[in-house]
Amino acid sequence: MSTHPRIAVLPGDGIGPEVMACALEVLHAVGDFTVDEHLIGAAAIDKTGTPLPDASLDGCRAADATLLGAVGTGAVPADPDSPRPEQGVLELRRALGVYANLRPVRAIPGLEDAGPLKADRVRGVDLVVVRELTGGLYFGRRGRTAHDAFDTCAYTRDEIERIARIAFTLAEAKGPAARVTSVDKANVLATSQLWRDVVQGLADREYPHVPLDHLLVDTAAMRLATEPSAFDIILTENMFGDILSDETAVIPGSIGLLASASLPAPIDAGEGVRGALFEPIHGSAPDIAGRGGLASPLGMILSVALMLRYGLGRTGEADAVEHAVDHALREGLRTADLGGTATSHDAKRAVLAAL
Ligand SMILES: NC(=O)C1=CN([C@@H]2O[C@H](COP(=O)(O)OP(=O)(O)OC[C@H]3O[C@@H](n4cnc5c(N)ncnc54)[C@H](O)[C@@H]3O)[C@@H](O)[C@H]2O)C=CC1
Ligand SMILES: CC(C)CC(=O)C(=O)O
Ligand SMILES: [Mg+2]
């Protein structure tokens, strides 16, 4: 029987399969892995009528780690009761229990001028958005009639405390001055008031040495654009983290560069955390899918690096992939999203050459 790590691969829709194909080549270049491909999203609805077939979920549960491309067609269904591709991702996150979504963002040397922010604002930025991933609005009770609709946001103390613990641990690992900025809307929302109490209580009891501040989400959105270097660890709930992390794309210059790790348990620096999920932060980008390689595969490739580090405990290989991406960019690799002409295929080749 193979002793290679078993990876469940869910390419999904739109640019998902395009970026996944590139990332798998990089994965196979750094080691031996057994890869099983499964359906999710619109691709799964087309073939099976459901966005996350049992066979896909079983495959992810049996795997050491799961890689996901992206799902969605970009369309909002006319019939709210019809299956939606995005339900596949939400259901997968819930079923795997991956409550801790880490979205690292840094200024990449050589790319300081690639985004809309001034280079001196971007230089040196190195932050992680720690997003609660299995609670809040995306999982609350909802309903809709022809005349009204509602969504509910609920959090328990335990849900808040376990994600806050991840944020404080990451800050400790980053260094003595690294701060946690907890983002909420405590001036309005009951869930945010509980969030603030629980985060502050945990800090007082167990992490008094970690600098902590609380920021309202609207101010946080503004500060991310005006002073991104003020942040080390941004700790926040599900929807705020979804929105703020897309905003952080202005730091490296494209959402196509951003990766994520979703963990079902605290970080294990030795073995890695089994049963975790790794995906770029972008969606299926229907506007550029199937257009001759306009998609950057770098966020997906960097998600492979996060899988190697956090999912499989293979720090050396993770570093190698990240260095190869940095090297390729430093040497001038520019895909369309960064204003260049390199295709997805060119980007993958540049990374492979730098490995
Ligand atoms: N985890 C997932 O599977 C996610 C799925 N979605 C779904 O994706 C679909 C499209 O959503 P959008 O709002 O358009 O968000 P999106 O992230 O797919 O695209 C936003 C913009 O970024 C660009 N972009 C995204 N990834 C890129 C890449 N790798 N290289 C170059 N450019 C890239 C797109 O071309 C587009 O202009 C929707 O159905 C949405 O629900 C959105 C976010 C996450
Ligand atoms: C299906 C969406 C909730 C996914 C998304 O936008 C995200 O997780 O960033
Ligand atoms: Mg999102």
pLDDT mean over 270-283:
96
The three-state secondary structure class of 255 is: helix
Under the banding of pLDDT at 50, 70 and 90, the label for residue 74 is very high
pLDDT of residue 228: 98
What are 210-225's pLDDT values in tens digits? 999 999 999 999 999 9
Q: Do the Cβ atoms of 306 and 206 come closer than 8 Å?
A: no
Give the pLDDT mean for 101-121: 94
Task: Give the side-chain half-sphere CA count within 13 A for 14.
Answer: 24
User: 281 CB under 6 A from ligand 2?
Assistant: yes
Question: Which amino acid is located at 26 in the chain?
Answer: V
Q: What is the C-alpha to C-alpha distance for residues 336 and 305, in angstroms, rounded to an integer?
A: 23
Q: What pLDDT, on a 0 to 100 scale, did the predictor assign at position 79?
A: 77
Taking residues 13-30, what's their average pLDDT?
Answer: 98
Cα 51 from Cα 40, distance rounded (Å) = 5
Q: Which amino acid is it at 181?
A: T
Residue 77 scores a pLDDT above 90: no
Residue 77 · residue 23 · CB < 8 Å: no
Report whether residue 242 contacts ligand 2, using a CB cutoff of 6 Å: yes
Q: What is the fold, at CATH topology level, of the domain defined by 1-98+262-355?
A: Isopropylmalate Dehydrogenase (3.40.718)
- Residue identified by tokens 């030795």 is 270
State the number of CA atoms in the 13 A half-sphere of 5 facing the CB. 24
Distance CA 12, CA 51 (A): 10
Question: Domain 126-250 in CATH: superfamily?
Answer: Isopropylmalate Dehydrogenase (3.40.718.10)
| pLDDT more than 70, % of the chain | 99
In the reported structure, the alpha carbon of residue 291 is separated from the centroid of ligand 1 by a whole-number distance in angstroms of 15
Render pLDDT for 34-43 as a digit per residue (tens, 0 to 9).
Answer: 999 999 999 9
Q: Is 102 in the pocket of ligand 2 (CB under 6 A)?
A: no
Q: Would 1-98+262-355 and 126-250 be classified into the same CATH topology? A: yes
14 pLDDT higher than 60:
yes
284 C-beta closer than 6 A to ligand 1: yes
36 belongs to the catalytic site: no
CA 276, CA 225: separation in Å to the nearest integer?
31
Which whole-number Å values give the CA distances from 113 to 56, 77, 123, 193, in the listed order? 41, 39, 10, 39
Give every CB contact of residue 223 below 8 A, 6+ residues apart in sequence.
215, 230, 231
**Which pLDDT score is estimated for 2?**
64
Four-CA torsion 104, 108, 111, 114, nearest 10 degrees: 10
- Residue 209 CA to ligand 3 centre (angstroms): 32
- Give the ipTM: 0.99
Average pLDDT estimate for 297-323: 98
Nearest-angstrom CA–CA distance, 171 and 195:
18
Kindly tell me if the per-residue pLDDT of 288 is higher than 80.
yes
State mean pLDDT over 65-75. Answer: 97
Q: Distance (Å, rounded) from C-alpha 167 to C-alpha 179? A: 9
**What are the sequence ranges of the domains in the chain?**
1-98+262-355, 126-250
The CA 242 to ligand 2 mean position distance, Å, reads 6
Residue 251 and residue 118: Cα distance in Å, rounded?
10
Q: How far apart are alpha carbons 235 and 248 in whole angstroms? A: 14
In angstroms, rounded to a whole number, what is the distance separating the alpha carbons of residues 41 and 10?
9
Hey, whose CA ends up nearest to atom 5 of ligand 2? 242
Q: Is 205 known as a binding-site position?
A: no
Q: Do the beta carbons of residue 309 and residue 318 sit within 8 Å?
A: yes
Rounded to two decimals, the pTM is: 0.98
Whether residue 18 is predicted with pLDDT greater than 70 in this model: the reply is yes
Rounded to an integer, the average pLDDT of 323-349 is: 97
The Cα 63–Cα 95 span in angstroms is: 14
Task: Establish whether 337 is a catalytic residue.
Answer: no
Output the pLDDT for position 170: 97
Q: Name beta bridge partners: 235.
A: 130, 182
Active site residue 207: no
* H/E stretch holding 174: helix 157-174
- pLDDT tens profile 227-275: 999 999 999 999 999 999 999 999 999 999 999 999 999 998 889 999 9
* pLDDT for 1 beyond 60: no
Question: 170-190 pLDDT, tens per residue?
Answer: 999 999 999 999 999 999 999
